Amino acid sequence: MSSNLSRTLHPLTAPAGRARYLTVCSGADNVGRSSLCINLAIALARDGKRVCILDTDPSISNAHHLLGISPAYSLVSVARGDCNMRDAINNGPGGIMLLHDGGYRAEVEKLKESQQRQLLHQLQAWQQQLDIVLIDTSATDASGLEAWISIADSLLMVLVPQSRSLSQSFSLLSQLSPSGKKKPMHVVVNRSSGSNQAGAIFEKFSSTVKKYLDTRLQYCGHIESDENIRNSVALQYPVALYDREDPSCARIFDLAAALHDQWTGVEPVGLGLVDLVAASIQQQRVDQPLWPEHSDTHQVTGGKAQFLQTPALADELIDRGLLGPEELKQVIEALLATAHHEFPATFPGPRGKAKTRVDEGNDGQRALLDKLRQSRPEGLTLDQLLYDHVRRK
């Protein structure tokens, strides 16, 4: 039994608040990519990591489908304001989370700036609660995969012992942009007959890629062809939930440990979803700061943001017990007073502090927040004032 199985994984090297993104891809279909992605996520979660699978199949949500989960909402639903991130997250087996993309990449550029900012805040709060995001891709061509490579810090290429898999995977890598080829690339050989076959396949594939593409691949091991794994897909019960020394899942934990070893000391190089959305906003409105802490909440330029539109930060502070009823009352009063002062036409009323009442408990706080969000069509965002308020503390 490999010594890797007994390892306790140490914290990753990603900066605070920055999850590490791994794009799981392949050059051919039907290589067990989504099943391997699910089992890897569970193995990482069982070693103490907070893991979310970003399921990018726009039609059948493949990872969800394999687990018998029907997502009611997707990342597109969050972007459009139909729900918040908590509604879009599905809890999976072994403590993992799943988020369906829903075709988000095609939709995000169509959003209004206020919607993009709302999405940005919610993604930031989501990302801060994670250690690893596994991107389960559906595209097998470079044009469809390139966007998810730009987000990722590294790639995991899934090969199988078939000439078609090797040739199509080489073709996929050859079509990547120069920046895509520079990303750290890990390889796992799935459905192999053993370590000798898997090692030989990797050496052949790796030497070809190095010779013709000048790209170095890192071997992470193999997953042997196993009847239990095939049955687990039909039963919608991943093998990574078995005892970790069970032969059917031992290699999954080896893979998790190998990836961790290759990540150690390597800083993330991808954009991540938060920076990607921030870049989109910056391109649209270069005259406005991206983050509230870079702005003066009493001097809003370039138009008014949607009033109290983004609940993510307020809800997170309430959940953590960092914003009590009286303190929330003071924040809301200050927000309304600022709105009365800066936008008297939109917010008629006294320039002094508005009188508010906050019931005890989280439900009372959220009820008041919801009421305030719906009370005016435009003005300052709640998150702007909260960021400023917390920073002053």
Residue range 273-282, pLDDT digits in tens:
887 777 666 6
Name which residue leads in pLDDT, 304 or 147: 147
Q: Give the domain CATH number at 31.
A: 3.40.50.300
- Work out the pLDDT band at 62, boundaries 50, 70, 90: confident
Give the pLDDT score at 90. 95
Split into its structural domains, the chain has a count of 2
* Dist CA 127 CA 294 (whole Å): 20
- Work out the pLDDT band at 135, boundaries 50, 70, 90: very high
**Beta-ladder partners of 57:** none
CB 285 within 8 A of CB 113: yes
* Dist CA 281 CA 289 (whole Å): 9
| 237 shares a domain with 317 | no
- Indicate whether 276 belongs to any domain: no
DSSP 8-state secondary structure symbol assigned to residue 258: H
CB 92 within 8 A of CB 284: no
| Strand duo 132-136 + 20-25: pairing | parallel
| 245 shares a domain with 345 | no
- Work out the pLDDT band at 172, boundaries 50, 70, 90: very high
C-alpha angle 374/379/385, rounded to 5°?
95
Tokens representing 303? Answer: 């138009």
| 296 shares a domain with 224 | no
- Indicate whether 269 belongs to any domain: no
The average pLDDT across 114-119 equals 78
| 35 shares a domain with 160 | yes
- Indicate whether 274 belongs to any domain: no
Pick the most confident of 41-45, 301-305, 387-391: 41-45
- Indicate whether 88 belongs to any domain: yes
CB 141 within 8 A of CB 29: no
- Work out the pLDDT band at 314, boundaries 50, 70, 90: low
Backbone CA torsion sign across 159, 161, 162, 166: positive
| 328 shares a domain with 257 | no
- Indicate whether 163 belongs to any domain: yes
The average pLDDT across 320-327 equals 64
pTM of the model: 0.70
- Indicate whether 133 belongs to any domain: yes
Give the pLDDT score at 116. 77
Tokens representing 263? Answer: 């990540």
Q: What rounded mean pLDDT belongs to the chain?
A: 76
Pick the most confident of 10-14, 107-111, 340-344, 376-380: 107-111
Give the pLDDT score at 234. 85
| 321 shares a domain with 241 | no
| 177 shares a domain with 249 | yes
- Indicate whether 4 belongs to any domain: no
- Work out the pLDDT band at 96, boundaries 50, 70, 90: very high
- Work out the pLDDT band at 31, boundaries 50, 70, 90: very high
- Indicate whether 287 belongs to any domain: no
| 56 shares a domain with 147 | yes
| 296 shares a domain with 250 | no
| 60 shares a domain with 199 | yes
| 313 shares a domain with 255 | no
Q: What is the span of the domain harbouring residue 344?
A: 292-392
